[in-house]
């Protein structure tokens, strides 16, 4: 009973703070976020993914064709679809890179929905759109990512205050970029890259809004050290918070920590 009460208090506190964050984004340091994107951009083309991700040939080909970092394309795809080629959003965005149909798709020369659903065609379209935005914003990836989500008409080329939701999205993709660069553990050794499919997940809790899942992860992550918490969009529109683990030892450590917090 005590454990259930503690869990209820914890979830209530997290929901309250996440609801406040959704209105004002107080937890996102915009200047620091833009600085992180600038730092990444300096060596982005030399970065390598920490894992072997699905459809790797599509991403490497599109990155080379459009002079973009492969890690950036992977981060966008992980954030948009978690590498599900037939993913569809409520806004009618499709595929790995969630290309809007028909608007953005036809802008990029895709005339048939079947083209949008082809994995490599979808990734190439997303890369072309990112390159177009990168050039529009003079290499500023912070604004490029904001515009990928909000549309270039709503994101100024320079100056001005970006909409809270656009800043949140830029931060969201930065979080996925961190995963692409580091994998599930920030302290992993070894030289052989694991397959992304081999990164297992332990379900923790479900939320109906992304900002609530994000706030929950941000609040609890410090307690888990090098074990990574993450959240993903569900097909039904909900958002699952999960513990990522690479082996049974990590799973066991995670389960012990979750049990102490009342999630056992």
Residues forming the active site: 80
- Locate 69 and state its tokens: 């970092």
* Whole-number Å distance between alpha carbons of 93 and 104: 9
Burial class of residue 56 in the structure, from the number of CB atoms within 10 Å of its CB (0-12 exposed, 13-18 middle, 19+ buried) = middle
């Amino acid at each position: 009973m005590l454990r259930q009460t503690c869990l209820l208090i914890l979830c209530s506190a997290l929901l309250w703070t996440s609801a406040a964050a959704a209105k004002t984004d107080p937890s996102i340091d915009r200047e620091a976020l833009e600085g992180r994107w600038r730092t990444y951009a300096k060596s982005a083309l030399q970065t390598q993914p920490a894992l072997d991700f699905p459809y790797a040939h599509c991403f490497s080909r599109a990155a080379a064709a459009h002079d973009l970092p492969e890690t950036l394309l992977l981060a966008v795809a992980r954030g948009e679809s978690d590498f599900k080629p037939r993913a569809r959003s409520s806004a009618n965005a499709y595929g790995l890179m969630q290309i809007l149909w028909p608007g953005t798709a036809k802008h990029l020369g895709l005339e048939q929905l079947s083209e949008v659903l082809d994995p490599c065609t979808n990734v190439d379209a997303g890369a072309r759109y990112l390159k177009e935005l990168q050039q529009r914003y003079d290499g500023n990836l912070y604004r490029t990512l904001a515009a990928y989500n909000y549309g270039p008409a709503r994101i100024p080329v320079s100056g001005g205050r970006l909409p809270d939701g656009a800043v949140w999205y830029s931060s969201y993709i930065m979080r996925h970029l961190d995963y692409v660069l580091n994998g599930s553990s920030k302290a992993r050794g070894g030289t052989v890259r694991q397959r992304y499919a081999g990164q297992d997940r332990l379900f923790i809790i479900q939320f109906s809004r992304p900002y609530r899942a994000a706030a929950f992860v941000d609040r609890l992550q410090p307690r888990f050290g090098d074990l990574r918490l993450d959240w993903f969009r569900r097909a039904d529109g909900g958002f699952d918070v999960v513990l990522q683990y690479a082996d049974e030892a990590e799973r066991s450590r995670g389960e012990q920590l979750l049990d102490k917090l009342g999630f056992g």
